[in-house]
Amino acid sequence: MGIDTSCDDTSCAVVEDGKKILSNVISSQTEIHSLYGGVVPEIASRKHLEIIGFAANEALRRAGLTLGDLDALAVTAGPGLPGALLVGVCYAKALAAGISRPVVGVNHVEGHIYANFLKDDIPEFPCLNLVVSGGHTELILMVDHGRYVQLGETLDDAAGEVFDKVAREMGLPYPGGPYLDRAAENGDPTFCKFPHPKIEGSKYAFSFSGLKTRAIQEFEKRGRREDVIDHLCASFREAVVRDLLYYVPELVNRYGVKSFALAGGVAANKLLRARAKELCTQIGIPLHIPPLVLCTDNGAMIASAGYQKLIRGFCDGPNLSIDSDLELGSWGGE
Ligand code: KG4
Ligand code: ZN
């Protein structure tokens, strides 16, 4: 069973052999956080605590199993909201102790990467991963299971975060990313030009904060008129997607990359999916994108990552604790 309570979704899933999803229960807290325009950490932890037992039972019921059928527990141990993580980790440890099974902590970003391993046709190594979510924008080279090289990350805001903030300014519902994506479908992407940011020093870094400010300024300049929203969303989405894929051709060449993979909530973005497809066809490498339900937070991806760790002998005991700065694991050997 894989458990994720890192942010505002309570998810428990049952996965067989790290690959076959038997159930994937995701209980969203969107409704309550939307009242505040963003995730309220204290509310998130309380809701996780209320829901997690039901989510675990429901995951077992849908899989047609009972507790004793589980071989192991995998749980997100970080990064994430500390109070929220704590609920999942404590629950997983208690359950594991109760049924005398091993428990393993999983890095949340690593979990997102493993959303592309819940199928037969898995990414070939070295695989370049673009992990884009509400909290992360990272380029990670996966050399093997549990062996990663971090090539680039954002110097300021994450891509999902700027989608959400720009959408909020434009009065779109929470969480803004999917609504901005939808509005952009009806707009003209050439309406407004947002230049690619010049980033000094770090070679493969991203920066989205300036782009976010520019988009909001352009909206204000036009008197926050409703009839420009679709066009500004389209132009903004165009710029973010361009920047997200900017380094891919160079990195594929430089590291002999054999496959490219998208992961994280923003991998649900329509334009990003389409552009990544075009790019991979041009370069001549396969593209892996999880189905929509596995892009955003879910327990199945955590179970998949946990499975790979467990079969390599990595296991945590009752001392497993949350770690908001948890590094991407290096459990894949030399
Ligand atoms: O991976 P995820 O569920 O949670 C984190 O680990 O952060 O990602 C959530 C993020 C939110 O910022 C949400 O707005 C964004 O993913 N998102 C999208 C789309 N669907 C979800 N952003 C752009 N376009 C979408 N279609
Ligand atoms: Zn996530």
pLDDT in tens, 247-269: 999 999 999 999 999 999 999 99
- For residue 80 and ligand 1, the question of a CB distance below 6 A is answered with no
Backbone angles phi, psi at 9, to 5 degrees: -120, 135
297 ligand 1 Cβ < 6 A? yes
Return the half-sphere exposure (C-beta side, CA atoms, 13 A cut-off) of residue 107.
18
Q: What number does the ligand 1 atom closest to the CA of 161 have?
A: 12
The pLDDT of residue 62 is above 70: yes
The residue-averaged pLDDT of 110-121 equals 97
| Mean pLDDT of the chain, nearest integer | 96
**How far does residue 60's CA lie from ligand 1's centre (Å)?**
27
Provide the pLDDT for residue 198.
87
Closest ligand to C-alpha of residue 263 is 1
Confidence of residue 333 (pLDDT cuts 50, 70, 90): low
pTM (predicted TM-score): 0.96
* Alpha helices (H) along 99-174: 108-114, 159-169
Residue to probe by mutation, ligand 1, list 110, 133, 240, 262, most atoms within 8 Å of CB: 133
pLDDT category at 135 given cuts 50, 70, 90 is very high
Residues of the chain with pLDDT > 90: what percent? 92
Would the CB of 111 count as within 6 Å of ligand 1?
no
90: burial class by Cβ within 10 Å (0-12, 13-18, 19+)? middle
- pLDDT at residue number 38: 87
CA distance 306 to 89: 13
What are 175-230's pLDDT values in tens digits?
A: 999 999 999 999 999 999 999 998 888 899 999 999 999 999 999 999 999 999 99
* C-alpha of residue 15 to centroid of ligand 2, in Å: 18
d(CA 104, CA 307): 9
Distance, in Å, from the CA atom of 227 to the CA atom of 204, rounded to the nearest integer, reads 36
Residue 239 pLDDT > 80: yes
Distance 59 CA to ligand 2 centre (A): 20
Q: Which residues pair with 74 in a beta bridge?
A: 2, 104
In terms of Cβ atoms closer than 10 Å to its own Cβ (0-12, 13-18, 19+), residue 298 is buried
Identify which of 266, 292, 302, 324 to mutate to test ligand 1's pocket (most ligand atoms within 8 A of the CB): 266
Report the distance separating Cα 3 and Cα 297, nearest Å. 10
Atom 8, ligand 1: which residue's CA is nearest?
265
334 has pLDDT over 70: no
The answer to which of 132-141, 236-245, 321-330 has the lowest mean pLDDT is 321-330
Cβ 4 under 6 angstroms from ligand 1: no
pLDDT at 280: 98
Q: CA 112, CA 116: separation in Å to the nearest integer? A: 8
Mean pLDDT along residues 51-74:
98
Residue 326 pLDDT greater than 80, yes or no: no
Please name the residue whose Cα sits nearest to atom 16 of ligand 1. Answer: 265
- Which two structure tokens, joined as six digits, stand for 257? 């990359």
* Ligand 1 atom showing the smallest separation from residue 108 Cα: 6
Residue 330 has pLDDT above 70, yes or no: no
* Residue with CA nearest ligand 1 atom 14: 177
258 and 125 in contact (C-beta within 8 Å)?
Answer: yes
Structure tokens at 115: 């959303």
